[in-house]
Amino acid sequence: MAVVHEWLTIPGGSEKVLLALLELFPQAELFTTVFDPEPWPSAITGRSVTSSFLNRLPMARTMYPKLLPLMDRAVRSFDLRDFDLIISSNHACAKNVRKPPGIAHVCYCHTPMRYAWDPDYLAGEKLGIAGRLAFEALAPHLRRRDRAAAQPGNGPDVVIANSTFVAERIRRFWGREALVIHPPVDTVRLQRVVHDPQEYYLFLGRLVPYKRAELAVAACKKLNRPVKVVGSGRAMRSVQAAAGPGAEFLGHVPDDELPELLSGARALLFPGQEDFGIVPVEAQAAGLPVIAYGFGGVRDSVVDGVTGVLFEDATVAGLSSAIERFEGMTLKADDLREQAARFAPENFARQFAAVLEQLS
């Protein structure tokens, strides 16, 4: 079995799914365009990992987003003729692998290529005039290639989406139907957390423009509520500029310290649009309500008025109103934990195995 993943540089949500796939298939060989072994556990570094020619380029491990025009060629350079099954973990080009005749290909799609299809995705990124013009010129080619590589025949035999939101994007952009199998979330560990809310709200995630952390800190500033921000990233300065005196920036927090932060928060603030969003499920497993922008994959995981609040106005005023609505509600921890349990790893494993059984 060959498992093909986009790139292995910085751990994120799609890599949690990858690790779950590798746990299901411990003998699988792993293929990726760019590989930095430093941040990964033995589940990855202890197996055969084949990287593409891009990995030999200077600065590839840090400048890999700028190599996007070459990613399709890099993925298609892999020779997979000796395998019986291909599983691609795709959010850009991983599904574009050359599929030898007679070999099944299952694509787990985190999203169709957002850089190409979603013009708002790059809002806030500092591309410069030249960079933005270059990307706008490249985007039509990326869209055509993304759709063509997703078609039956040379493309995946089966497409799995990580949420109903992504399944709809696949239908719209690729013209294909997709099964929905939600990502696995380690809910058991967090269900032992005793929720003992203090006064602060919590933002947890990478500080990149599309996650809209600045809305979280600005809304708390407007309402004079304390907020703790866990995470780092290139949007740090703009988020700090939007924050009030009650904001505390904690940077990277080790996994073993997160339960205490989840326990003490009033609610998780999740103001960005995500394809699925693992963090809201983790919060609910810990008994922590979620206040989230009500578009994207979060609609599969957060039940408005039962496990949190969904808001539609992606502004400081909109999030502020949602916080005030939440503060007038009483939510039950049992409802939160029961909702989170739907995304336990055993459900992911069972559903994925069922797909493979249908192929055999």
- Average pLDDT rounded to a whole number, residues 64-79: 89
How far apart, in whole angstroms, are the C-alpha atoms of residue 170 and residue 164? 10
pLDDT at 138: 80
- Measured CA to CA, the distance from residue 125 to residue 67 in angstroms comes to 16
> Which CA distances in Å does 8 have to 40, 47, 62, 184?
8, 14, 11, 19
Give pLDDT tens digits for 331-355: 999 999 999 999 999 999 999 999 9
Q: Which residues contact 293 (CB under 8 A, 6 or more apart)?
A: 212, 270, 271, 272, 273, 310, 311, 312, 314, 319
Question: Which pLDDT band, with edges at 50, 70 and 90, does 251 fall under?
Answer: very high
CB atoms within 10 A of CB 185: 28
| Domains of the chain with bracketed CATH | 2-184+344-359 (3.40.50), 187-341 (3.40.50.2000)
Q: What is the pLDDT of residue 64?
A: 78
SS3 of residue 356 by DSSP? helix
- The mean pLDDT value for 189-204 works out to 94
% helix, strand, coil for the chain, step of 5:
45, 15, 40
The values of phi and psi at residue 81, to 5°, are -70, -20
pLDDT over 70, % of the chain? 96
Q: Which two tokens stand for residue 67?
A: 């190599």
Write out the two tokens for 90. Answer: 């795709």
Which pTM value belongs to this model? 0.89
Q: Cβ(185)–Cβ(281) under 8 Å? A: yes
Q: What is the pLDDT of residue 283?
A: 97
Q: Say what the pLDDT of residue 128 is.
A: 65
Report d(CA 43, CA 63) in Å as an integer: 25
Give the burial class of 355: count Cβ atoms within 10 A of its Cβ; 0-12 exposed, 13-18 middle, 19 or more buried: middle
CA atoms of 259 and 202, how far apart (whole Å): 12
